[in-house]
Structure formats: C-alpha cells, structure tokens
Chain A
Amino acid sequence: MALSPEFKSRLLAQVREVPAPTRKETLRRQTWLFAAGLIGALAIFFIKGGLRVTARPPSLIALTSLGTAGFVGVGMWLLFTRGPTGLRRPRAVLLGAAVLSTIAFVSWRYGVSAAYGRAGVWPDRIGLRCLGLGVMTGGLMLFAALMSWRRSEPVTPVSTGAAFGAGAGLGSALLIDLWCPVAYVPHLLLGHVLPILILSVAGGVIGGRVLSLVRKR
C-alpha cells in the first residue's frame, strides 16, 4: 500500500508552516555561539593567569603544548565534526577518538616532562585547581556547542552531546597544559583527564534533552 497523493500534499503543506532555519542561518548561529564559548573559555584562562612559565624551560612548554595541541586537535576534529555521510561518526569512532587522544596527550606530557626530569612527585598538588579550571573552561565550550546545535540533532542527541563534552574537555586540556607545570601522573589523571570524563557525561545527559528535535518531558 503506497502513500496517497493526499498524504503528500498534506505533508508538504504542513512542513511549509513550520519555520526551519536554512543552512546559512544555521552556520551563522553556530559560528557566533561557538566563538563566544571559545572567547569565554580563553577569558577565564587569562583571568586565572594564562600561560604560566614557572620553573619550566621554554622548550619544555613548547614541546608539551605543541604535542598536546596536535593530539587534542585531531580528537576535537573527530568529535565535533561529522563524517562524509553527513551523520555523526559511529559511536566506536567517537569513543576511540576521545580515549586515544587523551591517552596520547597524557603520555606525551609525562614522557617529555620525564625526559626533562620534571615528572616527579608533587604531593601537595593533587590537581583540584586544574580540575576546576578544566570544568569551567570546558563547560563554557560545551555550553556553547550544545546551544549552537540546540533542537537540531535528529538522530543521535545523546552521543552527539557526549562527543561535544569530550571535545570541549580536550580543548580545556590544552589550556590546562599551558597553565600547569605539574606532570605527576595522579595529578594528570585527576586534574587533566577527569574534566574530560565529567564533561562527556554532562554532555550526554544534557545533549539528550537539548539537542533532540523533539522537546523531552
């Protein structure tokens, strides 16, 4: 039993009555919101002191930051963009991107710092300040990403939200990398990695409600 011509004309008429932004309008809105989130995150970063050299040699800062930027950049690109199909990338790819880029930047940071003899124990710096800065800066980026995609994800709102959370967490990890001189592994896990996990979970929970085309009750 095929769909009737009446069904078609009724559907097309109904669709015409529902306002929907065009691609140009959507891109403009997304760009503005995303830029606002990024600027907000940078503002918090600079208010908190920005790049802190402390006793780190400039070459160590340059090496760790460039490496982290590379790993985090690839991860963010996979998590924030869509594949050639126009749909969000498969969940396994999103998870792999988040986990592998996190492992890569932590290993890089620890490895390079160890080579400079600066990966020793810092018992008084467990990483709470880094955790706070990561959640604040990443949270702002996540908020901007969720608002820019609000009510426009027809297929996978939860995994899209989680991917945005992980992407924002990775972005904040780069800022923390510039800010924090500590490369002690427990500190890295609590202060630099935990924000990514927190923001992923928050992104999934909020994304399921905010990104979905249909408002959830």
Chain B
Amino acid sequence: MLSKPDGAGGRVATAADEAMSQYAQGDASAFEIVYDAVAPRIEGYVRRKVRDGARVEDIVQQTFENMHKARGTFIPGSDVLNWAFAIARNLVIDTGKKAGRESSTDMTAENDGMGAVLAAAIAGGEELFLARETGALLVRTYEGLTKLQQEVFELVKLEGLSYQQAAATLGITVPSVRMYAHRAFVALRGAVEERSESRLVPA
C-alpha cells in the first residue's frame, strides 16, 4: 500500500488514510479506495466474532455507512483502519449480545481447521492426536483470559494491528494494551510449555 510520512502524530499515512481524507472533503470516488483497503480486514475481524454470514455482511455494511455518515468528523491524515475497527467493534457489541460466546465458538472452529491442516501435514496418528489436544488446551486457556485480554490478542496477533492501533480501537492506553497482550501471550505460551513438559514425563 502506498504511504507517505505526514500522518497525524508522526505516523505514516496510508493510501486508504489519504482516500478517506479526500472523501471527508467531498470526493465521492475516494470511498471505493477506502472500501478496497479496509473491507477485507473488517470482514475478517467481524467473521471471527460473528458466525452468521448474513450478520457479518450487515455489520460490514453498517460500519461503512457509519464511516460515511461521520466522514465530516474524520481528521485528515489520521488512521482510517483504526477508525473502522473501532466502529465495527462497537457494532459487534451493539448488535450481537452473544458476541462473546460466538467468538470463543469461532476460536474452537478455527482450531479444528488448524487441526485439519496439521493432519494433512503429519503422517503419524500420534502427532495428530497431540496437535489436537494442544489446540483444545489453547482454546481452554484462551477462554480463561479476560475479555480485554482476548480482544487485545485478537487485534494484535490475528488482525495485525499495532499496539497504538489496538489501544485506539479499544479506547484504552498503549501501556494497558502492552500489559494485556503480555498476559495473554504468557498464559498461552505457559499452556503450550506445560503440555510439552507433561509429554516428557515418562508414564
């Protein structure tokens, strides 16, 4: 993606940020550029939270409608992806009271999918069994994390947002994001290490 170093707060502004700035000034054609850059990321995020495909489309559509309605408040050069994520997250919370349960269900589905990938790659049945067990353990550990730890982990690790972007999306400070991310990583890594050690203990 094209970028230039004049974004707000010394950040590198992306082509999507520039396009959103133009759209905020009234250039109607720029919204398509914003859509192309932002929609796949938002869709991936929402799909992880909401299982129903129709609802995913509804939330993505509402996110872009809200961006359109609030375009006059967009600060030129600021991060449009951040803004879109914050709007989408708000809509997920607003429209789906079951979002928390569904997100963990989705994690299970994702890990099942990962298990299938491992099955194709690993010849031995024992390895497959162990991989599945580790996946299940990770899901249990993930479900034991606090809501904010889960959200930080998703935004930073799965969506690839920076700590700054995740902090702005969640409305918390960057040090808090670092702390939640650290705790989530420690918990998940601890679960994997515990699993590995238990395998080494002779029966």
Same complex: yes
B75 touches A82 (CB 8 A): yes
Whether A90 contacts B173 by the Cβ 8 Å rule is: yes
Would you call A47 an interface residue if the criterion is a C-beta within 8 Å of the partner chain's C-beta atoms?
no
The answer to whether B72 and A159 touch across the interface, beta carbons within 8 angstroms, is: no
With contact pairs A85-B79, A91-B172, A92-B172 given, residues A154 and B70 touching in the complex (Cβ less than 8 Å): yes
**Is there contact, CB below 8 Å, between A91 and B171?**
yes
Pairwise interchain contact A154-B69, C-beta atoms closer than 8 A:
yes
Separation of A155 and B87 alpha carbons in the complex (Å): 5
Taking the closest CB of chain A, its distance from the CB of B170, in whole angstroms, is: 8
| Most chain B CB within a 10 A radius of its CB, from A82, A154, A156 | A154
* Contact bitstring A3-17, B, C-beta under 8 A = 1, else 0: 100011001101110
Taking the nearest CB of chain A, how far is it from the CB of B121, in angstroms?
Answer: 24
Q: How far is the CA of A84 from the CA of B86 in the complex (A)?
A: 15
Whether B25 pairs with A24 at a CB distance below 8 angstroms is yes
**Given A15-B64, A92-B173, A154-B90, A86:B74 Cβ within 8 A:** yes
Given A3-B39, A3-B57, A92-B172, also A16-B164 (CB < 8 A): no
Q: Do residues B173 and A152 form an inter-chain contact, with CB atoms below 8 A?
A: no
Main SS of chain A's interface residues? loop
Determine the residue in chain B with the shortest Cβ distance to A156. B171
Task: Tell me the bound Cα distance from A155 to B83 in angstroms.
Answer: 8
- We find that the number of chain A residues with CB closer than 8 angstroms to chain B is 39
Name the distance in Å between A141's Cβ and chain B's nearest Cβ. Answer: 19
Contacts of B39 in A (CB 8 A): 3, 8
| A21, CB-defined interface residue at 8 Å | yes
Q: In the complex the two chains form, is B171's CB within 8 Å of A85's CB?
A: no
The stretch among B27-35, B142-150, B185-193 that forms the contact with chain A is B27-35
- Whole-angstrom CA separation of A33 from B87 in the bound complex: 26
Contact with A along B14-47 (1 / 0, CB 8 A): 0000000000111010011001000110010001
A153 to B83, CA, bound (A): 11
B168 CB-CB contact with A under 8 Å? yes
- A54 interface residue, CB < 8 Å from B? no
A-B contacts besides A11-B60, A12-B32, A154-B67, 11 pairs, CB < 8 Å? A1-B53, A3-B40, A12-B35, A15-B64, A15-B65, A26-B73, A83-B9, A85-B82, A85-B165, A90-B173, A90-B176
B residues neighboring A (CB under 8 Å): 8-11, 24-26, 28, 31-32, 35, 39-40, 43, 47, 53, 57, 60-61, 64-76, 78-79, 82-83, 86-87, 90, 164-165, 167-169, 171-173, 176
- Can you show 6 pairs from A to B with CB atoms below 8 A apart? A20-B69, A24-B25, A25-B72, A91-B172, A154-B90, A155-B171
Closest 10 pairs between A and B when the two form their complex, measured CB to CB: A84-B9, A26-B72, A86-B78, A85-B168, A84-B8, A22-B26, A23-B24, A86-B75, A21-B72, A154-B66
